[in-house]
């Protein structure tokens, strides 16, 4: 965890930049896109069987 904190400190360089907030937003976005892709793939497979 100290490596992540030091990387965030280097990124900030004293300024208030919410790196953690960006990481959370990107993680949520990635999860939503991944879920949507999985649902789409399942629907495509179901359509091919009919």
pLDDT in tens, the chain (50 residues): 678 878 777 777 766 667 788 889 999 999 999 999 999 999 999 999 87
Nearest Cα residue to 10 out of 23, 19, 1: 19
Whole-prediction pTM: 0.61
**pLDDT at position 22:** 87
**pLDDT at position 40:** 98
**Whole-number Å distance between alpha carbons of 23 and 35:** 18
């Amino acid at each position: 965890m100290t490596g992540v904190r030091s990387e965030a400190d280097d990124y900030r360089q004293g300024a208030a930049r919410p790196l953690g907030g960006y990481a959370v937003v990107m993680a949520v976005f990635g999860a939503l896109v991944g879920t949507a892709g999985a649902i789409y793939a399942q629907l495509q497979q179901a359509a091919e069987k009919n």
